A and B are shown apart, each in its own frame.
Chain A
Amino acid sequence: MKGWTGKLRAFALLGFVALVLSACGKENLTALDPKGYGADQSLYLIILTTIIMLFVLAVVMIVYTIVLIRYRKKKGQEDYIPKQVEGNRTLETVWTVIPIILLLIIAVPTVTATFDLADESAASDSLNIDVTGNQYWWHFNYDGQEVQTSQDLYIPVGERVYLNMMSSDVIHSFWVPTIAGKMDVNPENENTMYIEAHEEGVYWGKCAEFCGPSHSLMDFKVIAVSPEEFDQWLNDMQNADPEPEPENAVAQEGQSLFEENNCMSCHAIGSSSASIGPNLTNYGNRSTLAGVEDLNKENLVDWIMDPEALKPGNKMTGQYPEVSENEAGKIAEYLLQLDETDITPESAGNE
Chain B
Amino acid sequence: MSTVASQKRGFGAVLWDYLTTVDHKKIAHLYLFGGGFFFLLGGLEAMIIRIQLAVPENDFVSAGFYNELLTMHGTTMIFLAAMPLLFALMNAVVPLQIGARDVAFPFLNSLGFWLFLFGGLILNLSWFLEGAPDAGWTAYAPLSVTSPGHGVDFYVIGLQIAGAGTLIAGINFLVTIINMRAPGMTYMRMPLFTWTTFVTSVLILFAFPALTIGLFLLMFDRMFGSAFFDVGLGGNSIIWQHLFWIFGHPEVYILILPAFGIFSEIFATFSRKRLFGYTAMVFATILIAFFGFMVWAHHMFTVGLGPVANSIFAIATMAIAVPTGIKIFNWLATMWGGRITINTSMLWALGFIPSFTIGGMTGVMVAAVVADYQYHDTYFVVAHFHYVIVGGVVFGILAGLHYWWPKMFGRVLHEGMGKLTFWTFFIGFHLTFFIQHFLGLMGMPRRYWVFLENQGLDTGNMISTIGAFFMAFGVVVMLINVVYTALKGEKAADDPWDGRTLEWTMASPPAEYNFKQAPLVRGLDPLWIEKTEGKGQLTPAEPLGDIHMPNASFLPFLMSLGLFIAGFGFIYQVDYDWAYILLFAGMAMTLGCMLIRSLKDDHGYHIPKDELEREAD
Assess whether A214 is in contact with B272, with CB atoms less than 8 Å apart: no
Q: Which residues of B contact A30 (CB under 8 A)?
A: 441-443, 456
Task: Please measure, in the bound complex, the distance between the C-alpha atom of A46 and the C-alpha atom of B370, giving whole angstroms.
Answer: 9
Residue of chain A at shortest CB distance from B365: A49
Is residue A72 contacting chain B, with contact meaning CB distance below 8 A? yes
Q: Which residues of B contact A43 (CB under 8 A)?
A: 374
Assess whether A184 is in contact with B143, with CB atoms less than 8 Å apart: no
Looking at the complex, which one of B231, B280, B302 makes contact with A182 (CB distance below 8 Å)? B302
Assess whether B374 is in contact with A181, with CB atoms less than 8 Å apart: yes
Assess whether B318 is in contact with A312, with CB atoms less than 8 Å apart: no
Assess whether B63 is in contact with A213, with CB atoms less than 8 Å apart: yes
Looking at the complex, which one of A50, A88, A103, A186 makes contact with B321 (CB distance below 8 Å)? A103
- Write the A38-80 contact mask toward B (1 if CB under 8 angstroms, else 0): 1101110110111001101100110110011001110001001
Assess whether B140 is in contact with A182, with CB atoms less than 8 Å apart: no
If A23-B438, A313-B63 touch, does A186 touch B354 (CB 8 Å cutoff)?
no
Task: Please measure, in the bound complex, the distance between the C-alpha atom of A38 and the C-alpha atom of B449, giving whole angstroms.
Answer: 28
Task: Please measure, in the bound complex, the distance between the C-alpha atom of A334 and the C-alpha atom of B185, giving whole angstroms.
Answer: 83
Assess whether B354 is in contact with A60, with CB atoms less than 8 Å apart: yes
- Interface locus among B205-213, B337-345, B555-563: B337-345
Task: Please measure, in the bound complex, the distance between the C-alpha atom of A48 and the C-alpha atom of B370, giving whole angstroms.
Answer: 12
Assess whether B328 is in contact with A91, with CB atoms less than 8 Å apart: no
Assess whether B277 is in contact with A87, with CB atoms less than 8 Å apart: yes
Residue of chain A at shortest CB distance from B325: A99
Q: Which residues of A contact B10 (CB under 8 A)?
A: none
Q: Which residues of B contact A32 (CB under 8 A)?
A: 441-442
Min C-beta distance of A79 to chain B, whole Å = 10
Q: Which residues of A contact B280 (CB under 8 A)?
A: 87, 92
- Interface locus among A2-10, A150-158, A201-209, A322-330: A201-209
Min C-beta distance of A288 to chain B, whole Å = 10
Is residue B551 contacting chain A, with contact meaning CB distance below 8 A? no
Question: A22, A32, A171, A216 — which one has the most chain B CB atoms within 10 A of its CB?
Answer: A216
Min C-beta distance of B500 to chain A, whole Å = 10
Q: Which residues of B contact A209 (CB under 8 A)?
A: 140, 377
- Write the B417-438 contact mask toward A (1 if CB under 8 angstroms, else 0): 0000000000000000000001
Assess whether B443 is in contact with A31, with CB atoms less than 8 Å apart: yes
- Write the B374-396 contact mask toward A (1 if CB under 8 angstroms, else 0): 10111000000000000000000
Task: Please measure, in the bound complex, the distance between the C-alpha atom of A194 and the C-alpha atom of B67, giving whole angstroms.
Answer: 32
Contacts of B341-369 to chain A: CB distance below 8 A: 341-342, 350, 353-354, 357-358, 361-362, 364-365, 367-369
Is residue B314 contacting chain A, with contact meaning CB distance below 8 A? yes
Question: B278, B310, B443, B456 — which one has the most chain A CB atoms within 10 A of its CB?
Answer: B443
Is residue B290 contacting chain A, with contact meaning CB distance below 8 A? no
If A49-B371, A107-B318, A110-B314 touch, does A68 touch B143 (CB 8 Å cutoff)?
no
Is residue A173 contacting chain B, with contact meaning CB distance below 8 A? yes
- Interface locus among A113-121, A232-240, A253-261: A113-121
Is residue B315 contacting chain A, with contact meaning CB distance below 8 A? yes
Is residue B322 contacting chain A, with contact meaning CB distance below 8 A? yes
Assess whether A100 is in contact with B311, with CB atoms less than 8 Å apart: no
Assess whether A170 is in contact with B142, with CB atoms less than 8 Å apart: yes
Looking at the complex, which one of B63, B329, B370, B456 makes contact with A45 (CB distance below 8 Å)? B370
Q: Which residues of A contact B271 (CB under 8 A)?
A: 71, 82
Is residue A86 contacting chain B, with contact meaning CB distance below 8 A? yes
Is residue A1 contacting chain B, with contact meaning CB distance below 8 A? no
Assess whether B368 is in contact with A87, with CB atoms less than 8 Å apart: no
Looking at the complex, which one of A71, A72, A84, A177 makes contact with B374 (CB distance below 8 Å)? A177
Assess whether B321 is in contact with A118, with CB atoms less than 8 Å apart: no
Assess whether A82 is in contact with B143, with CB atoms less than 8 Å apart: no
Residue of chain B at shortest CB distance from A174: B302
- Write the A92-115 contact mask toward B (1 if CB under 8 angstroms, else 0): 100110011001001100110111
**Closest 7 CB pairs between A and B?**
A181-B373, A25-B442, A216-B448, A191-B304, A53-B361, A26-B456, A213-B63
Q: Can you list 20 A-B contacts with CB-CB less than 8 angstroms, sorted by A residue number?
A: A22-B459, A25-B455, A46-B441, A49-B371, A63-B332, A73-B339, A86-B274, A86-B277, A99-B321, A103-B322, A110-B369, A111-B315, A118-B307, A173-B302, A183-B302, A208-B445, A214-B63, A215-B447, A217-B449, A312-B63
